[in-house]
Structure 1
Amino acid sequence: MGHGGNVIEELMADHREVEEIFARIQSMTGQGQELRDVVDEVTIELVRHSVAEEQYLYPAVREHVEDDDRIADKEIADHSRVENLLKELEKTNADDLHMSPLLQQLMEEVADHVEDEENNLFPMLRQACSSEMLGDLGEKIRRAKAMAPTRPHPAAPDTPPANKLLAPGAGLVDRARDFVTGRG
C-alpha cells in the first residue's frame, strides 16, 4: 500500500503492483473464489490509488502544471470509467461469462491511464515541482491511501474539498465491511 519515496515513485510503485496483479489474473486457469479474491485485491488497490490521486495529485497538477485543468479533468474521467468497471466487476459472479470481458476492459483502461501518467503527466509534474514538494505529495498520497475506501463508489465526489471530507468515512465503512466478510 505505501511504498515510500516522492509522489512519482509512490504512484509508479502502485502501477507496478497493479500490473503484477493483472498478470496473476491473466495466468489463472480457474475462476470461482480464487478469481474473486484476486479481483477484490486489484479493486482495493485501484480504489485506494485513485482516491489518493484525486485528493492530492490532481489538485497539485491544477496548481503547478501548464494546461492543468484539461490534464486533471482527463485523468479524473479515466478514473470514473475504471471505477464504473470496478463496480460492475463487484456485482459480477466470478463464474459469469461477463467477468472475462469486464476484466479485459479494466486492464486496457488502466494500462492506457498508466501509460499516459508515466509518459506525460509525471514528467511535467517533475519539471514543475521541487523535490521537496514531490516528497511532501508522496507522504500525503500514502496517508490518503491508508484512509481511502476499498470499494468503488462511482457517485462519490472526485474533487476537493468534498472528496477529502467523505473518503475517510467511506473508507472506514468499507474496511468494516471487508473485516466482516473476510474480503481483502
Structure 2
Amino acid sequence: MTERIDVVELLKAQHTRIRELLDEVAASKGDERRQSFQDLVRLLAVHETAEEEVVHPFARKNIDGGELVVKDRVEEEEKAKRALSRLDGMDPDSPEFLDRFAALRQDVPAHADSEERYEFAHFREAADRGKLENLARAVKAAEALAPTRPHPGTDTALKNVAVGPVAAVVDRTRDVVRKAMG
C-alpha cells in the first residue's frame, strides 16, 4: 500500500531536505560541495516550480489574504533564483561563492519558515485530507516535469521552461496536475 501524504507534509519534508543540503554544501568542499550544490539547485528549482503551478494558486483562492501572502513568497523566491543563478558556474571553493552562499543559506530557510507559517498553516482549514492528498500528487506531477535550473525573472512554470518544444512538456504537466487535483 502506498503511503498517503498530504501537500503540507510533502512540502515540509522537502524544506527539511533543502536545509540539509544547505548544511552539506557549507560543510563540504571540492567535488562533494559541487555535487551537494547541484543537488540543492535541482531540488529548489523543481520545488519552486511545483509551488508556482499548484501551491500558490491554491493559496490565492483558498486562504484569507492569499493574494498578498503569495505575492510576498514569490518575491522571496525570485531573490533566491537570482542568488542561485549568480552562484551557478562559480567555483564552489572560492571565497566569493562562500560569501554569496552564506547569504542564501540564511534567506532560503527564512523563506521556508514564512511559507510554512503564512501559507501552509492555513491549508488544513481550507481543504479536507483528500484534497490535500490530491494537491500532494499534483505537486509530485509538476516536479517530475519541472526545469532543473532556476530561471530568474520567471514567475510561472510556463515562463520558466516554455521555449520551443518544451512548451509541450508544460502542457502535459498542467494536464497531469489538473487530473491529480481532480
Any gaps of 5 or more consecutive residues in structure 2? Answer: 170-182
Question: Identity rate of aligned residues, in percent?
Answer: 25
Q: Aligned residue for 1:182? A: none
Moved more, 117-126 or 137-146: 117-126
Aligned to 1:23: 23
Aligned residues: 165
Which one of 137, 140, 149 corresponds to residue 139 of structure 1? 137
TM-score, scaled to structure 1:
0.81
Between the aligned partners of 2:5 and 2:159, the Cα distance in structure 1 is 24
**Matched letter for residue 41 of structure 1:** D
Amino acid at match of 1:166: A
Distance, in Å, in 2 between the alignment partners of 1:154 and 1:38 is 21
Alpha-carbon distance between aligned partners in 2 of 1:117 and 1:44, rounded to the nearest angstrom: 19
What letter corresponds to residue 131 of structure 2 in structure 1? M
Residue deviations 1:4-37 (CA, integer Å, cap 9, x gap): 6111111011011111112222322xx3322111
Long gaps (5+) in structure 1: 173-184
- Map 1:98-109 → 2, pairs under 5 A: 98-109=96-107
Go from structure 1 to structure 2 and tell me whether the alpha carbon gap of 1:59 and 1:113 turns closer, same or farther (over 3 Å shift). same
Pair 1:166-2:162 in alignment: yes
How many Å separate the matches in 2 of 1:164 and 1:88?
17
Contact conserved, 2:46 with 2:148, CA < 8 A, in 1?
yes
Displacement, 1:126? Answer: 1.6
Residues 107, 118 of structure 1: alpha-carbon distance in 2 compared, 3 angstrom cutoff: same
Residue by residue over 1:47-106, the C-alpha shift from the partner in whole angstroms, topping out at 9 and shown as x without a partner, is 110000011100000110111110011111111011111101103112321111111111
Equivalent-residue separation in structure 1 for 2:146 and 2:13 (angstroms): 17
Cα 1:120–1:151 change in 2 (3 A) is same
**3-state SS of the aligned residue for 1:44?**
helix
Greater relative contact order (CA < 8 Å, ≥ 6 in sequence): 1
Alignment of 1:13-162 (within 5 A): 13-28=13-28, 31-156=29-154, 158-159=155-156, 162=158
Instruction: Give the TM-score, by structure 2 length.
Output: 0.82
Stretches of 4+ aligned residues off by more than 3 angstroms: 162-165
